[in-house]
A and B are shown apart, each in its own frame.
Chain A
Amino acid sequence: MAFFDVFFWEVVVSGLLAGVMYSLVALGFVLIFKASGIFNFAQGVLALFAALTLVGFQTGQVPFSHLINAVLGTNIQHWGEGTHTFLAIVLTLLVMIGLAWLIVRLALSKLVNQEGIILFMATIGLAYVLEGLGDIMWGADVKTLDVGLPTGPSDTIIDATGMFVEKLEIAAAIVAVLLVVSLTIFSQYTKMGRALRAVADDHQAALSVGISLETIWWVVWSVAGIVALVAGVMWGAKSGVQFSLSLIALKALPVLMLGGFTSIPGAIIGGLIIGVGEKLFEIYLGPMLGGATENWFAYMLALVFLLFRPQGLFGERIIERV
């Protein structure tokens, strides 16, 4: 059977690994949606912003240099050799946490009790702000990101099976697993995690037992920012840090629809299904349709799937009452 040769498995594996990358973005969505009911459209831009900031720190760019130069007529670009990768990551994490505080403080805390659609719109606005901010702070040119992750095809796998698998994608898979495990531990076994789940369960009840909604939201957005940083690093190392990074957020949406908006395992499995499905469809049926089917296949798959199961694979059952 021609379909089950090495090439087929290579496509499947690369699809699975691409799916992991989608899952990384989808995870951030799920975290925020579970804890605050906010459908965070800005997750992709958050990843872009994190990656831009990381590169900026690494290479020692002066933030807002373009703006400063335009206003003052100076010509500053860099403030030295740049920082060590580890230090840059720590600094970026701090920036993401600060950003989360700003977002919650300035925008979301004033929108408590609004309808979901209004909050969704607010995050689209947020996406625009972050996109503009990222471009003004660090410049819009395509940047390469190197944090010391292995690249190139893995020799051991080629020798053992004859398949061509990127080392970077394997690293991404390992990171994703670590991330999911640590997130699970965080939400199941820490006090903060328990408070987080309480808020996710019922805002009012959580407030009445003395949990601060604003703090929880801040923590959630910080965690989402950290997840965004991981996703940004992975995607940035793969295809360079550029504007198109923010579009992967859109790819994460069908992943979420498949997996259900409220399920972390759903985000992972949804990502894998989309990744494999999209690659197989593109390779075996794409040429007949003119190629580039990756643009829409994920959405169509999710659409068809939802017709049969409107809450997704692992989503909470939708119960409606009048």
Chain B
Amino acid sequence: MFYREAGEFKTSYKADQATFPIRFDRIFFWSVTAFAFLVVPFLINDYWEKAVFIPFMVFALAALGLNILTGYCGQVSLGTGGFMAVGAYACYKLMTAFPDLNMVPIIFLSGAVTAAVGILFGLPSLRIKGFYLAVATLAAQFFLVWLFNKVPWFYNYSATGQITAPERTVFGFAVTGAAAQPATTYLFCLAFLFVFAWVARNLVRGRIGRSWMAIRDMDIAAEIIGVNPLRTKLSAFAVSSFYIGMAGALFFALWQGAAEVTEAFGINQSFMVLFMIIIGGLGSIFGSLVGAAFMVLLPVLFKNIFVGAFGWPTDLSQYLQLMLVGGLIIFFLIVEPHGIAALWRTTKEKLRLWPFPH
């Protein structure tokens, strides 16, 4: 009834190419944003912050990054965990080396460091493709984790080998450490996610995003029509690693507060983010967010059902959860290989025609 473009007349190209061409979508988007920024901070408590919102936002940022690389540029990467570790350790080193620095530039710089590392490990992509590249990125994953484990300089020679986030502030509010309020950390992460989702959305429909997609669809053809594969692939690695590095920094500094590299940034983390973008939808910004929400909320839900409602032992619920996640992945791939984002698109098409299906 309300969801249709009939009666909305576009008078400029700008309006025609808007991300949300339908008024209902725009209203919906801005009300969700307003709710997230203005209402949630007053309601949030510690449990919702640490178990739902912060994990969601951290993984959404990582999923955005991986989606740029895998979904838009077609380079499969299994090194996400390793790159998140780079972001986290860069963040830690910067936090301890420059105690007076504001948290915002620290997160940006962590992203930049990760981008540099990403370019380095992106170099093989110029020669290796497909599965071979996926396995090559495993080299990054294992090497980086090993490096942070073995070189004491990275964890400031602490006896446990752990890194712990000291207290840092933004505009006088503590965002890391024990004194940080749930609302502050929530808003801090949300601001990052909001800005960078917007940046990603505009990157992928601009010149650079189109060259990524050209390389994804057929790299040789793209090269022949004048897309420089070196610059395109490496820029995808750089931007993707930038996002993933920021996600890693937020993961460590705001969410966990302390991290041990083999536990926090193992290969499972890489798969987790990969699942997010597959379930959400490869090559879709909305899909990255939905996928992250799905994979973060599912375990919370299962835990509440199995342990909370049925009273089963936690280990059992954990295995059941593994099975269900795996089963759901297969189910989604069979039903809709392009993820929830594609399902959502079909729903929208149907909504436009509703109540007349033809």
Contacts and interface: CB of A to CB of B under 8 A. Distances in A.
- Asked if A pairs with B, the answer is yes
Interface of A: 39, 66-67, 70-71, 106-107, 110-111, 114-118, 120-122, 124-133, 135-136, 140, 250, 253-254, 256-257, 261, 289-293, 295-296, 299-300, 302-303, 306-307, 310, 312, 320-322
B146 A118 contact: no
A136 B326 contact: no
A311 B79 CA distance: 21
B357 interface: no
Contacts of A39: 131
A296 B139 contact: yes
A322 B329 contact: no
11 contacts: A135-B319, A136-B320, A250-B267, A289-B150, A291-B150, A299-B143, A303-B128, A306-B132, A306-B136, A307-B127, A321-B220
Closest 7 CB pairs of A and B: A128-B326, A125-B329, A132-B323, A132-B322, A299-B139, A129-B326, A290-B150
B259 interface: no
Given A133-B323, A292-B150, A306-B124, A124 B334 contact: no
A132 B320 contact: yes
A322 to B, nearest CB: 5
Contacts of A135: 319, 322
A86 B289 CA distance: 52
Contact of B135 (A107, A136, A299): A299
B320 A254 contact: no
Interface of B (DSSP majority class)? helix
B93 to A, nearest CB: 19
Contacts of A292: 146, 149-150
Interface of A (DSSP majority class)? helix
Which of A125, A133, A307 has the largest number of chain B CB atoms within 10 A? A125
Which of A115, A132, A256 has the largest number of chain B CB atoms within 10 A? A132
Contacts of A106: 330
Interface size class, chain B: 35 or more
Interface stretch (B28-36, B175-183, B308-316): B308-316
B124 to A, nearest CB: 6
Contact of A257 (B76, B135, B151, B324): B135
Contacts of B326: 124-132
Nearest to B144: A296
Contact of A124 (B130, B224, B329): B329
A20 B275 CA distance: 32
B138 A131 contact: no
Contacts of A130: 326
B337 interface: yes
B187 interface: no
Given A292-B150, A300-B143, 11 more contacts: A114-B337, A120-B134, A128-B323, A133-B323, A256-B135, A257-B135, A290-B150, A302-B139, A303-B136, A306-B127, A306-B132
Contact of B142 (A115, A120, A131, A299): A299
Given A124-B271, A261-B131, A296-B146, A253 B224 contact: no
Contact of A129 (B76, B146, B218, B327): B327
B150 A299 contact: no
Nearest to A254: B135
A278 B69 CA distance: 31
Interface in B324-358: 324-330, 333-334, 337
Contacts of A118: 333, 337
A116 B128 CA distance: 16
Which of A126, A140, A303 has the largest number of chain B CB atoms within 10 A? A303
Contact of A117 (B76, B124, B329): B76
B220 A136 contact: no
A126 B330 contact: yes
B139 A303 contact: yes
A135 B322 CA distance: 10
Given A125-B327, A250-B267, A290 B136 contact: no
B136 A299 contact: yes
Given A116-B131, A307-B128, A322 B220 contact: yes
B256 interface: no
Given A125-B330, A127-B326, A310 B127 contact: yes
B333 A132 contact: no
Contacts of A253: 135, 138
A114 B127 CA distance: 25
A110 B334 contact: yes
A70 B313 contact: yes
B333 A293 contact: no
Interface string B218-255: 10110010000000000000000000000000000000
Contacts of A306: 124, 127-128, 132, 136
A179 to B, nearest CB: 24
Contacts of B327: 125, 129
B11 to A, nearest CB: 41
B138 A299 contact: yes
B184 interface: no
B142 A296 contact: yes
A295 B312 CA distance: 36
